[in-house]
Amino acid sequence: MTSSRVTIPTMTTLQTTSIHDAYRERSVLITGGLGFIGSNLARRLVEVGDVEVYLLDALVPDQGGNLFNIEDIKDQVTLHIADMGDPSVINHLVGGMDYVFNLAANVSHLDSMLFPQHDLKLNCQSQLTLLEACRNFNPHVKIVYTSTRQVYGKPLYLPLDEQHRCAPVDINGVHKLAAEHYHLLYHRVYGVRSTCLRLTNTYGPRHLMRHNRQSVIAWFIRQAMDGGMIDLFGEGRQKRDFNYVDDVVEALLMIGASEKAEGDVFNLGSHEPVSLSHLAEELIWLTGHGTVRYVPFPPERQLIDIGNCYSSYRKIETLVGWEPRTTLRAGLASTIEFYNNHRAHYWDSKIESTPRILTTA
């Protein structure tokens, strides 16, 4: 055997193999399955093949749930439009699952400050309902919970690692941290096999694009595509990290397949943080539209702003070999192409079709 004939599997091949092994012929529930990341994850699981994919989504108004997100795979998944916080729904649903990707959440930091009790209901009460259902009806299910790097609050050092102290600066961060603690506690006490991922800014196709209260990058993309104003607070120097949604989906599947990840917390992150002004320039260059406008910080955002903020993904890389693979430019280009083709379903999306619905509650 000569060295020229040795085929060294690429990381991607290895990943694909282990993901196939882990998920084929298994049942997977995605909470928040009509949302941005949930629907991209569902599509990837459909591609894996031989996976029973169940989606649970309450289509809470103003959140990211959008039936068009699964238009092309709707016959290959089973959708439950129902509230995860309703024990009669979730107790029944978790019983037969091998995996739960627990993505359902209230995600707006600004809204959480305006309606803290609503955020509590979605991000804590419903999470407890799910975990109690698992404990009682499927105690050894694998759960991957998507948390946020917002739990760290204002960084004491950068990049943020998982040892950084948690001091959330908004209600959403408080509740996401509490829900992380729930997951780790149900692992330690009851054997539920939970892992928490602290996501950073995720972007890509199928995001909520209707308003600017959920994601800075989604709103910038929309403004650039529409030839509108991209408002940069301060001078836009705040550095952030951005992950393309396909990379996040891969992280979810890899960490879900890892026994060693159970009971632990992992950051995602990107190779290189970029400033918001650089992001805006990229978008203007890619779309040929949009204009930057420098504006003072609005008071309600200044109060919960955290300055530069980006995470180290070394821990997940060390454990399962994950790293982001999509460059910012390539990811933004795919994203823009997607919305150019499907703008009508995102700029002012409505519920447009009635897929196979098993439960309504």
Residues that bind its own copies (CB under 8 A): 113, 116-117, 120, 124-125, 128-129, 132, 163, 165-171, 173-175, 177-178, 181-182, 184-185, 188-189, 303-304
CB of residue 131 vs its own copies: minimum separation in angstroms? 8
- Picking from 233, 335, 218, 212, the residue whose alpha carbon sits closest to that of residue 292 is 233
Q: How far is the CB of 134 from its own copies (least distance, A)?
A: 13
Smallest distance, Å, CB 350 to its own copies? 33
For the chain, helix, strand, coil in percent to 5 are 45, 20, 35
User: Residue 46 or 110: which CB sits closer to its own copies?
Assistant: 110
- Residue pair 66/205 in contact (Cβ under 8 Å)? The answer is no
Nearest residue (CB) to its own copies, 131 versus 253: 131
Do the beta carbons of residue 360 and residue 58 sit within 8 Å? no
109 neighbors 119 (Cβ within 8 angstroms): no
In terms of CB distance, is 132 or 282 closer to its own copies? Answer: 132
Rounded CA gap, 336 and 252, in Å? 24
> Identity (one letter) of the amino acid at 177?
L
CB 168, min distance to its own copies, A: 6
CA atoms within 13 A on the CB side of 331: 22
Q: How far is the CB of 130 from its own copies (least distance, A)?
A: 12
Quote the least distance from Cβ 101 to its own copies, whole Å: 22
Toward its own copies, which CB reaches closer, 85 or 236?
85
Token match 């961060």: residue? 173
- State the Cα–Cα distance between residues 93 and 212, nearest whole angstrom: 33
> Which is nearer to its own copies, 163 or 353 (by Cβ)?
163
Q: Which is nearer to its own copies, 66 or 172 (CB)?
A: 172
Kindly report the backbone phi and psi dihedral angles of residue 202, in degrees, each rounded to the nearest multiple of 5, phi listed first. -105, 140
Q: What's the rounded Cα separation, in Å, for the pair 89 and 129?
A: 10
Q: Name 180's Cβ contacts closer than 8 Å, sequence gap at least 6.
A: 145, 147, 151, 196, 265
CB of 163 to its own copies, least distance (A): 8
Do the strands 229-233 and 291-295 form a parallel or antiparallel pair, or are they unpaired?
Answer: parallel
Q: Give 73 or 166: the residue with its C-beta nearer to its own copies.
A: 166
- Cα–Cα distance for residue pair 296/278, rounded to 1 Å: 18
Q: How far is the CB of 156 from its own copies (least distance, A)?
A: 11
Distance of alpha carbon 316 from its chain centroid, rounded? 16
| Whole-number Å distance between alpha carbons of 283 and 276 | 11
Cβ proximity to its own copies, 97 vs 174, nearer residue? 174
